[in-house]
Structure 1
Amino acid sequence: MRKILVVGAGQSGLQIALGLQSQGYEVTLMSNRTADEIRTGRVMSTQCMFHTALQHERDLQLNFWESQAPKIEGLGVSVAAPGSWAEGPAARAIDWLGRLDGYAQSIDQRVKMAGWMETFAQRGGQLVIHGAAVGDLDYFSRTYDLVLVAAGKGELVQMFARDPERSPYSEPQRALAVSYVHGLGPRPEHPDTEGVRCNLVPGVGELFVMPCLTTSGRADILFWEGIPGGPLDVFNGVKDPAEHLSLTLELMERYVPWEYARATKVELTDAGGTLAGRYAPTVRNPIGRLPGGGLVLGVADVVVANDPITGQGSNSASKCAAAYLSSIVERGDKPFDEEWMRATFDRYWATAQHVTKWTNAMLAPPPEHILNLIGAAGELQPVADRFANGFNDPADFENFFYDPEKTQAYLVEVSGAGAA
């Protein structure tokens, strides 16, 4: 029986640990917090997961909360008319809703990670509550067949060198501020459709609104992404959750009043329901070398950390876990050597590269052909639907998004089909 150590109990680490456990591997999971500490702690992310990522969980029968969580059937885009907020609340220039082929869901990681961790322990997995340092891994690498590092923050990440060719940004491109709330009203245009709402405020930032399941039941997430140094970059140093929510709503009233109109009665889900921070999107070398010569393999956002503007973090973590799981099982009893580690990462990068390219493109001011595409989606439902489903399969953006000629050809084709 092969012995594998997974360091980090997030989406990817737990999914791999539970998946390997179900295949008969001897798995040790290291977490710096207990399940109870996670459940009662602060929110960790916004985690909207689309069909493919959810299916990886279903394949492992880990979709424990699927029947309770809101089923997100649409993804909407609204764009504020540039400069319209100078004299008062902003006005909308674009507003549409694309339909998802398979529904999405957002389950608070405090609920999911705590539940999965308890399941891992109940099924006989060895759970070690300990914050791992490089020295610990040096020791463990000699006693395990494979060490996977799935803890995306702290000193362990420093073992994985930044890949400058795949990391165009060296500084954070957005200041992030999250609030989990109860009491948000429906969008009047589509009162019966649960949807993620992407509100773009040119030159200022973005507000994402998404239904979720949290520790206290159904809720919604209000998530600002502000351009650093701009009017949304005001959450740094705000420690009081009530002040954090108050700032969130003030900014909504000015820049996205159509969303503010349904948020006048919201309250935080709990004292841990806010989060703020920023980080530079970075792709890293997937193999870490330990002082004693051992090798460890980086997982998910340890090696590919994208800005959350495209909502891909948990999706990528699930896809990474699925790819790594297959590679480990297919390896049989052969050694998990450096060549295997690189091939395993490359298998994940085949999908992750599309996420990174798309996310980095969305962080930059949009070129004219992208504005035309987003505008056309308001008139042509197939365009709105295709854009929405790109969140599930970002590889499709290669076919109609980046290249102005491909975009134009696609719009002509859809318009022609509509006319016919």
Structure 2
Amino acid sequence: MRDIGIIGAGQAGLQLGFGLLEKGYTVTVYSDRTPEQIFNARLAATTYLFGRACQYEQELGLDFWKGPGEYARGGDLDVCPAPGQRALRVQGRILNPGKSLDLRAKYSRWLAEFERRGGSVVVRDVDVDALEVLATGHDLVVVTTGRNSFTRLFERDAERSVHTQPPRNLAAMIVTGMKPLHETPYPALKFILTAGHGEYFAMPYFDRIRGPLNCLLLEAIPGQGLDRFGGVSTAREAMERMKQVLRDFSPWVAERLEGASIVDESSWLTGAFTPTVRKPVGRLPSGRTVMGMGDVVMLNDPIAGQGLNSASKQAHAMTQAILAHGDQPFTPDWMEQTFEHFWRTEGQFITAFTNMLLQPPPPHVLRYLGAASAVSPLADMFFDNFGEPQRFWPWIASPDETEARIQHAAAA
């Protein structure tokens, strides 16, 4: 069987590793941290895994967290033309629901499980010199992390990368003591979009230590009213900033946070990054090649919740492509064709949907949301399609097709 080396022990790398291991491949995962170090690390991201990605994990026997506490079964969206002014509200069900899980718990458990199932785990820092050696020892090396300057190996795709600077400044936190969202009959993802300022998200979350809690994410347009987390250095200060933001911008939800606090000093973050699409073939100084996957080739802003789901879908597609390739060599042409197939069928829609949400909604999308506030099937379609962004196309780009969907749903 083929011998595959995977750099990175996150969603893309580990899911690919489990998929190949199950089929008898020899797989080595190179991680820069032990399971214990991953578990005890600072929060690096808050994520929501939609239904199809959850199904992939179930098929691989990786769904170790089956309690209902982390599942959100619908969405609750407020659209605000100005701070404190809610123009419309859209509530709908996610027909194929997913969950938000502490990735520190997930990846630490997965890495230990990978070794238990017979995979090889090497804990070490891998730099470009090490990649040169690994590329000669494996049939294929897949790079799934952008750490250690690996991104410079993968050329930026100027045509597909529309951003040259971070579109949002981010703040995220895991909180305890948050009051439940009573306005929906099911656990829901709460979205608040404030025109010209940014977005607020709250969702049920499964913490690595405390179990069911909530996580919050604030996406601030740089320099605007939500952008208040610069210089924050403690969990208490971050929590107070979040509370004040909601008092000023969304007072109807601020009371949910009155008694809330961040669970510990390692469970909050601030930051910003520039979304980028890169070409999948990494060229080493020697001329050898490695393949990129996950965030190293498709890095999207978290506004649409696509990062983890994109990594999962890429890992599934890559597993199928490697299996179908048999004993043939993993050439640069194969790498490009494999990524292009994913981009054509899924990746372009993931990126386009994310970029669409970073811009003010065009009139026909606002018209759709207004109709969805009164027509449940339209609301359900909107929230459920977050898990499958390709379903938004081509109609969401066309005012006429969007209007036709509205009229069809209203007449049903």
TM-score in same-fold range (> 0.5): yes
Structure 1 position 259, deviation (Å): 2.0
**d(CA) in 2 for partners of 1:310, 1:376:** 21
What CA distance in whole angstroms lies between the structure 1 residues aligned with 2:394 and 2:347? 17
Question: Do the aligned partners of 2:126 and 2:148 also contact (CA within 8 Å) in 1?
Answer: no
Aligned length: 410
Secondary structure of the residue aligned to 2:216 is strand
- Please state if 1:237 is matched with 2:239: no
Q: Distance in 2 between matches of 1:35 and 1:69?
A: 24
- Tell me the distance in 2 between the aligned counterparts of 1:363 and 1:64: 34
The residue number in structure 2 matching 1:91 is 85
Alignment check: 8 A CA contact 1:69 1:107 kept:
no
CA distance in 2, matches of 1:167, 1:189: 38
Aligned to 1:401, which of 396, 402, 406? 396
Measured after TM superposition, the shift of residue 68 of structure 1 is 5.5
Q: Mean alpha-carbon deviation: is it higher for 65-74 or for 405-414?
A: 65-74
Q: Which residue number corresponds to residue 143 of structure 2?
A: 149
Deviates more, 1:236-245 or 1:376-385: 236-245
1:416 is matched with: 411
What is residue 44 of structure 1 aligned with on the other side?
44
Match of 2:127 in 1: 133
Deviations 1:183-215 (A, max 9, x none): 11122212x411111110111000011111111
Distance 1:342 1:351 in 2: 15
Q: Per the alignment, do residues 344 and 124 of structure 1 end up closer, same or farther by CA in structure 2, a change over 3 Å counting?
A: same
Pair 1:185–1:409, CA change in 2 (3 A) = same
1:314-356 CA deviation, whole Å, 9 max, x = no partner? Answer: 1111000000001111111111111211121122212111011
Q: CA deviation at 1:236?
A: 3.0
SS of 1:140's partner is helix
- Residues 139-198 of structure 1, C-alpha deviation per residue, up to 9 Å, x if partnerless? 1101110000001334011111110111111111011100101111122212x4111111
Residue correspondence of structure 1 range 183-332 to structure 2 within 5 A: 183-190=177-184, 192-215=185-208, 216-332=210-326
Letter in 1 for 2:58: R
For 1:64, the aligned partner's letter is: F
Is 1:164 the counterpart of 2:164? The answer is: no
Residue type at the aligned position of 1:22: E
Asked if the contact 2:38/2:107 (under 8 Å) is kept, the reply is yes
State the percentage of identical aligned residues: 38
Are the structure 2 counterparts of residues 198 and 403 from structure 1 closer, same or farther at C-alpha, using a change threshold of 3 Å? same
CA distance in 1, matches of 2:281, 2:97: 35
Give the match for residue 5 of structure 2: 5
Secondary structure, counterpart of 1:237 in structure 2: coil
8 A contact 1:175–1:277 mirrored in 2 = yes
Q: Given residue 295 of structure 2, which amino acid in structure 1 is its aligned partner? A: D
Give me the whole-angstrom Cα distance separating, in 2, the residues matched to 1:168 and 1:289. 23
Residue 348 of structure 1 aligns to a residue in which SS?
A: helix
Q: Paired residue for 2:170, among 172, 176, 179? A: 176
Helix, strand or coil at the partner of 1:291: coil
- In structure 2, how many angstroms separate the alpha carbons of the residues matched to 1:400 and 1:250? 39
Specify the SS of the correspondent of 1:48.
coil
Question: Matched residues in 1 for 2:291 and 2:230: separation?
Answer: 33
Render the CA deviation track for 1:364-386: whole Å, top value 9, x for unaligned: 11111111111111111111001
| Residue aligned with 1:336, SS | coil
Q: Does the 8 A contact of 2:6 with 2:144 survive in 1?
A: yes
Deviating 4+ runs (over 6 angstroms): none
Distance 2:87 2:181 in 1: 17
Residue type of the alignment partner of 1:206: E
- Unpaired runs of 5+ residues, structure 1, are none
Matches within 5 A, 1:343-382: 343-349=337-343, 350-382=345-377
What displacement does 1:394 show?
0.4
Q: Distance in 1 between matches of 2:394 and 2:381?
A: 11
1:30-53 CA-to-partner distances (Å, cap 9, x unmatched) read 111111111111112111011111
Q: Which runs of 5+ in 2 are unaligned?
A: none
- CA distance in structure 1 between the partners assigned to 2:337 and 2:99 by the alignment: 31
What TM-score do the two structures reach when normalised by structure 1? 0.95
- 1:156 and 1:258 map into 2 onto residues whose CA distance is 44
Structure 2 equivalent of residue 54 of structure 1: 54
In the superposition, the TM-score normalised over structure 2's length comes to 0.97
Tell me if the contact between 1:174 and 1:226 (Cα under 8 Å) persists in the aligned partners: yes
Quote the Cα distance in structure 1 between the aligned partners of 2:140 and 2:233. Answer: 40
The match for 2:26 is 26
Distance 1:189 1:359, change over 3 A: same
Asked whether the 8 Å contact 1:182–1:218 carries over to 2, the reply is no
Distance in structure 1 (CA, Å) of the matches to 2:172 and 2:135: 37
Q: Is the partner of 1:42 in helix, strand or coil? A: coil
- Does the Cα contact within 8 Å between 1:289 and 1:296 map onto a contact in 2? yes
SS at 2:315's partner residue?
helix
Inter-partner Cα distance in structure 2 for 1:399 and 1:290: 39
Kept in 2: contact 1:69–1:106 (CA 8 A) = no
Instruction: Find the aligned partners of 1:372 and 1:389 in 2 and give their Cα distance.
Output: 18
Instruction: State the distance in 2 between where 1:235 and 1:229 align.
Output: 11
Q: Is the 8 A contact 1:207 1:223 kept in 2?
A: yes
Judging changes above 3 Å, is the alpha-carbon distance between structure 1 residues 214 and 32 closer, same or farther for their aligned structure 2 residues? Answer: same
**What code does the residue aligned with 2:391 have?**
D
